[in-house]
Amino acid sequence: MAEWQDDLLSADILAGRGIEVEFVAWDDPEADWESFDLAVIRSTWDYTGRLEEFLAWADRVGSERLRNVPDLIRWNTDKRYLAELDGAGLPVPPTALVAPGGLVPPFGGKIVIKPVSGAGARDTGVFDEENREEGLALIEKLGDQDEIAMIQPYIDWVDEHGETAVLFFGGRFAYALRKKAFLPESGVAPVKPGTTVAAGMFDEDLMSLVEATDAEIELGAKTVAWLARRFGSMPLYARIDMVNSPGDEPVLMEVEATEPSLYLEKAAGLETSGGELFAMAVEASLA
């Protein structure tokens, strides 16, 4: 996949063990995917505007070779998967969906609006009844783009404590990160010039290494185990993003199993580094 500085940490470790690593763009027409024993999706962040093309590519590479497997990728690129997680008994926030031209429910307090498909907090904002018109404009914009809008209550706990991202490689807990709150108090998140990604995603202190609570690790493990059962394949990598409630009960916000940033460099100082942990999982997948 496309080369990203963070990916080099594990790639160098694998190369040192005699495992040849090559970075190939997913849409490279010259790529011979059958020549590889394993294809690991990493920084394919240009796919969101070409989703069906990307999913068709994943299907062509196939479940024998691609990690994560194509069925999981297809499922994970549409945040309506939260309804299935809810049905499985995993804790998720209340979520309303608005199709293009559909009726918009009352906001009923502070909410977050975002597209069901997308990355980097694109077209994401915070609204309440006072700026409802701005929120309606974002929903209309998403509708004009033939996208479904997702509406969730804003969890104030995030303002002070942020989100916890629990990383699992090959089904095993690796480490946890804390993502600081970066959405604006009100309105659509501004984007970094020249991109569609929210500017806050580029903050150097966006992520920091933390110790996960037992409850956070347990929820992450339950979610990864459910994914393995659902798709018949243990995810090579999964980042489970969650928020703790004031009662210290974690709630799932997103399952990142397509192309999540793993922030391996943040875990470089662990007894077994993040890069080593990911390399070990990749090597095990080749066995």
Per-residue pLDDT of the chain (287 residues; tens, 9 = 90+): 444 788 899 999 999 999 999 999 999 999 999 999 999 999 888 888 899 999 999 999 999 999 999 999 999 999 999 999 999 999 999 999 999 999 898 888 898 999 888 766 678 889 988 888 999 999 999 999 888 998 998 888 787 788 999 999 999 999 999 998 777 777 777 777 877 666 666 777 889 999 999 999 999 999 999 999 999 999 999 999 999 876 678 999 999 999 999 999 999 999 999 999 999 999 999 98
Report how far residue 4's alpha carbon sits from residue 6's, in angstroms, rounded to the nearest whole number.
6
Using an 8 Å Cβ cutoff, are 213 and 173 in contact? Answer: no
DSSP code per residue over 31-71: --GGG-S-EE----TTGGGGHHHHHHHHHHH-TTTEES-HH
156 CA to centre of own chain = 21
Dist. CA 270–CA 277, nearest whole Å? 10
CB 174 within 8 A of CB 274: yes
Assigned CATH class of 7-92+156-286: alpha beta
Q: Determine the distance from the C-alpha atom of residue 206 to the mean position of all C-alpha atoms in its chain, rounded to a whole number.
A: 15
User: 46: closest CA among 115, 146, 119?
Assistant: 119
Domain ranges of the chain: 7-92+156-286, 96-153
| Separation of alpha carbons 210 and 178, rounded Å | 6
For the chain, what's the residue count?
287
Alpha carbons 222 and 216: distance in angstroms, whole number: 10
The pLDDT of residue 3 is 44
282 CB-side CA count, 13 A: 25
pLDDT of residue 31: 96
> Given this model, what pLDDT does residue 247 score?
67
Strand ranges (DSSP E) for the chain? 39-40, 66-67, 96-98, 111-115, 125-127, 149-153, 163-169, 172-179, 187-188, 207-210, 237-244, 250-256
Global pTM value: 0.90
